[in-house]
Chain A
Amino acid sequence: AQKVTQAQTEISVVEKEDVTLDCVYETRDTTYYLFWYKQPPSGELVFLIRRNSFDEQNEISGRYSWNFQKSTSSFNFTITASQVVDSAVYFCALSEGGYSTLTFGKGTMLLVSP
């Protein structure tokens, strides 16, 4: 069965600090997809990134970067020079196979203070 673990329940940082959100997944499929979503206080989940199991390249998008390591079944998310607007709950999610529904982790609440 598939499973996503976000061990960090809550992280507090001061603006401009770098922060890494951890995500560890379990799956028996060789084809799977990993996602990160952001949920700000307004409540709407915002899609950030999708990565398939055959693409282990790290990705950088502005202040955001993602480190996918199949050897450790991890898909970690780093925010560089954090800002107050980054305060939100971040969910890591997994879908197996060619098509399946998402399995979410429990989320990590990130609090960035000025």
Chain B
Amino acid sequence: DAMVIQNPRYQVTQFGKPVTLSCSQTLNHNVMYWYQQKSSQAPKLLFHYYDKDFNNEADTPDNFQSRRPNTSFCFLDIRSPGLGDAAMYLCATSRETGGTSYEQYFGPGTRLTVT
């Protein structure tokens, strides 16, 4: 089945130790998103790629970076995780034509714990 896959599902890292979360998709969608979701809150968009164009949200900390080496894969790098970065990280994809907004399809998420 076509889907959005996130690895790992659970990640434990130490305070200040860089960590990378990965996302892949078989939907061939041109847009990929990374969200951070903390307990009992709505997902918060960190950044997204429209094709190869990177779009950073104004309030996303510099500590968060992203890479999209090809259409199928996207990575979230947290350079120096702090305790406040513990959260669920959700990857999503959508197909956008520039004239219409389509639904986003989400992966199962990676729950990050910072010790």
Interface residues of A (CB under 8 A from B): 33, 35, 37, 42-47, 50, 52, 91, 95, 97-102, 104-107
Contact = CB atoms under 8 A, between A and B. Distances in A.
Contact of A99 (B42, B101, B105, B107): B101
B108 A98 contact: no
Given A42-B108, A43-B108, A44-B106, A91 B42 contact: yes
Contacts of B106: 37, 44-47
Contacts of B107: 44
B103 A43 contact: no
B13 interface: no
Nearest to B96: A99
A100 B33 CA distance: 12
Main secondary structure of the interface of B (DSSP, over half): loop
B104 interface: yes
A105 B99 contact: no
Contacts of B45: 101-102
User: B104, B105, B109 — which one has the most chain A CB atoms within 10 A of its CB?
Assistant: B104
A98 B100 contact: yes
B42 A107 contact: yes
Nearest to B106: A45
Nearest to B109: A43
Contacts of A44: 106-109
Nearest to B48: A101
B88 interface: yes
Contacts of A35: 103
Given A44-B106, A101-B33, A95 B42 contact: no
